[in-house]
Amino acid sequence: MPMNLIESLHAIVGPAGFVNLEDGEPYLTDWRGRYHGKAMAILKPANTEEVARVLKLCAAHGIAVVPQGGNTGLVAGATPSEAGDSVVVCLSRMANIREIDTANYTVTVDAGCTLARIQEVAASVDRLFPLSLASEGSCQIGGNIATNAGGTAVLRYGNMRALVLGIEVVLPDGRIWNGLRGLRKDNTGYDLKQLFIGAEGTLGIVTAAVLKLHASLRARACAWVAIESVSAAIALLEHCRSACGDGLTSFELISRSQLDVVYEQVPGTRDPLDGSSPWALLLELADSASDAPLQATLETVIGEALEAGLAVDAVLPASETQRNALWHLRHIVSEANVRCGTSVTHDISLPISKIPECLADTEARLLDAGLVDGARFLYVGHVGDGNIHSIVLFPHEVWSTVGDKDALISQIGKIVNDTAVSFGGSISAEHGIGRAHRDELVHYKSDVELDLMKAVKQALDPEGRMNPGKLL
């Protein structure tokens, strides 16, 4: 019977869509390499119709389905369980650009298109698709939708959710819902696409989407600003918003402790200023008008900030090379930390006003608990989104002396998350829940909210066959 099923699945997707299990490792291991699952079959359907036929067959046999995009998620949301009783459906062969409508500022794409490809396609018609992530070269738009991806352009353009006008979904029973509407206003009943965005594949498989494009950006100005405190960052953000409006595209906070790790670990890097301030900001303005006087605006804003004591020093790059060098300091952070030791990282979000107190509180509680001896506290944050990646970095020589490493990670995580939640924050700003944070979700959500989530899951996937063991 299972053999017949496998043969039937093979027949649906054909040889090009059937991955032999001995070649399955990349599909069965999560991005961070912490989870290793098994599958009954790994399929790469060529189109929506094949996905629908696969899901219909799985429904008939009561088989679980694990949707997978570029498999770049950080919470093991696309890795099957160890039981080997599910079918992995990978969307990577579905990579057509279905339609570009420049006047409507939309592009309709298959779920398997990489984010980078969509950025390129948009640029080729003088449009911007603003979503931008570290993994953009390999992550797929279907996965970005299923996880409501964030990234570095959220301050101005919102999360993935804000960039989706319509989707096509194959439901757990194999029916296709065509919600591929390219409309900015549509108040005809429940906005069903919202259910599937961020659902991590637990309600159906997103197979295509109509995405919102923006005007291309043709002018930029950038600055590196030394500041004394997180509170100063928030005050400066407020000032920038008033003075620059929607032109503000990036407002990244980096702690001196994090910069020190970069300078120690990455040859050729050095502080753009004198390196004395406890915090630095990397901020950028951009505009679609090529002659927008952004450099002048930014100089004025920073001059005012220096005068008001919000900033202690600043530098504006004089060339694209200098600008890239500044951004390099921000982008190289993870790599520097890996060289230095083991990072216990967190992805919290907070009301912006609560960031300073919450970070101070968290650090004090971690020190009190005696969990961080020999570790370094690093912070990298998208301040404008209230999203702070707080990192406890254990240098190699310290980490090697830790006994129960998993227990330590989880104890630290509990303090960081407890504190964030006590300030009205979230334990997962942009990474999602997946398999990694499932137990925490139950701990931090109210019973009413969990009940509502379960009711939604029950309504759309009553047999619980879609991506089991993830999220709920």
Beta bridge partners of 19: 42
Residues 247-276 that bind a second copy (CB under 8 A): 247
List 117, 220, 346, 431, residue binding a second copy (CB under 8 A): 431
Q: Minimum CB separation from a second copy for residue 216, in Å? A: 7
Query: For residues 243 and 308, is the Cβ–Cβ distance under 8 A?
Result: no
Using the minimum distance from each CB to a second copy, give the nearer residue, 140 or 342. Answer: 140
Q: Torsion angle, CA of 403/404/406/410, rounded to 10 degrees?
A: -100
What is the phi-psi region of residue 424: left when phi exceeds 0, alpha when psi lies from -120 to 50, beta otherwise? Answer: left
Query: For residues 200 and 432, is the Cβ–Cβ distance under 8 A?
Result: yes
List 29, 132, 265, 288, residue binding a second copy (CB under 8 A): 288
Q: Is 449 in the site for a second copy (CB under 8 A)?
A: yes
Q: Is 145 in the site for a second copy (CB under 8 A)?
A: no
Residues 88-117 that bind a second copy (CB under 8 A): 101-106
Any idea what DSSP says for residue 199? S
Residues 4-43 that bind a second copy (CB under 8 A): none
Q: Is 470 in the site for a second copy (CB under 8 A)?
A: no
CA 427/CA 343 separation, integer angstroms = 17
Using the minimum distance from each CB to a second copy, give the nearer residue, 185 or 370. Answer: 185
Closest alpha carbon to 68 in 51, 88, 49, 82: 88
Residues 379-418 that bind a second copy (CB under 8 A): 382, 384-387
List 7, 82, 178, 368, residue binding a second copy (CB under 8 A): 178
Query: DSSP H helical segments within 266-384, as ranges?
Result: 294-307, 320-331, 333-340, 355-368
Collapse the DSSP code of 280 into the 3-class scheme (helix H, G, I; strand E, B; otherwise coil) and give the result.
strand
Q: Is 184 in the site for a second copy (CB under 8 A)?
A: yes
Using the minimum distance from each CB to a second copy, give the nearer residue, 336 or 355. Answer: 355
> % helix / strand / coil in the chain, to the nearest 5?
40, 25, 35
Q: Kindly indicate which of the ranges 111-119, 305-313, 373-381, 443-451 contains the residues binding a second copy, using the contact rule CB under 8 A.
A: 443-451
Considering Cα of 48, then 26, then 161, then 457, what sign does the dihedral take? Answer: positive
Using the minimum distance from each CB to a second copy, give the nearer residue, 376 or 382. Answer: 382
Q: Kindly indicate which of the ranges 3-11, 20-28, 49-57, 285-293 contains the residues binding a second copy, using the contact rule CB under 8 A.
A: 285-293
Cβ burial of 400 (10 Å; 0-12, 13-18, 19+) is exposed
List 28, 305, 408, 460, residue binding a second copy (CB under 8 A): 460
Q: Minimum CB separation from a second copy for residue 318, in Å? A: 24
Residue with tokens 């594949």: 201
List 37, 80, 112, 150, residue binding a second copy (CB under 8 A): 150
Q: Minimum CB separation from a second copy for residue 366, in Å? A: 22
Using the minimum distance from each CB to a second copy, give the nearer residue, 96 or 288. Answer: 288
Q: Is 168 in the site for a second copy (CB under 8 A)?
A: no
Q: Is 287 in the site for a second copy (CB under 8 A)?
A: yes
List 16, 123, 134, 183, residue binding a second copy (CB under 8 A): 183
Q: Is 309 in the site for a second copy (CB under 8 A)?
A: no
Using the minimum distance from each CB to a second copy, give the nearer residue, 29 or 216. Answer: 216
Beta bridge partners of 388: 348, 381
Each residue 38-77 as x (binds a second copy by CB under 8 A) or -, in order, gives ----------------------------------------
Q: Minimum CB separation from a second copy for residue 299, in Å? A: 13
Using the minimum distance from each CB to a second copy, give the nearer residue, 39 or 149. Answer: 149
**Over the Cα atoms of the chain, what is R_g?**
23
Residue with tokens 């030791």: 341
Cβ burial of 290 (10 Å; 0-12, 13-18, 19+) is exposed
Query: For residues 133 and 139, is the Cβ–Cβ distance under 8 A?
Result: yes
